[in-house]
């Protein structure tokens, strides 16, 4: 079970990375300066701008905005679940 949860966590993490790239590509297309290190570390800084740009273009918030937040929440939830399962598993092995 732990292995399958780790695999799902990796898939969700890659999905989150994909949405991060999509957000930064759209913001970059609007001629907003991005540094190389922003690919993972400063996506949140540009979320508001992405939301504004996609609303201007289509009248709706872009799909990457929802995908990013959904996959981020999924990652946090899975990490919490893994910690609970690992602590339970460790307690069983030590007779606690």
Q: Predicted confidence band at 95 (pLDDT cuts at 50, 70, 90)?
A: low
- Once rounded to an integer, what is the mean pLDDT over residues 58-83? 96
Q: Predicted confidence band at 34 (pLDDT cuts at 50, 70, 90)?
A: confident
Q: Predicted confidence band at 31 (pLDDT cuts at 50, 70, 90)?
A: confident
CB-based burial label for 57 (10 Å; 0-12, 13-18, 19+): exposed
């Amino acid at each position: 079970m732990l292995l399958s949860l780790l695999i799902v966590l990796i898939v969700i993490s890659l999905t989150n990375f994909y949405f991060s790239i999509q957000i930064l590509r759209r913001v970059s297309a609007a001629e907003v300066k991005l540094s190389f290190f922003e690919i993972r570390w400063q996506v949140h800084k540009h979320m508001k701008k992405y939301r504004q740009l996609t609303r201007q273009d289509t009248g709706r918030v872009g799909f990457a905005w929802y995908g990013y937040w959904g996959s981020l929440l999924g990652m946090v939830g899975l990490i919490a679940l893994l910690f609970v399962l690992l602590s339970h598993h460790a307690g069983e092995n030590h007779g606690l």
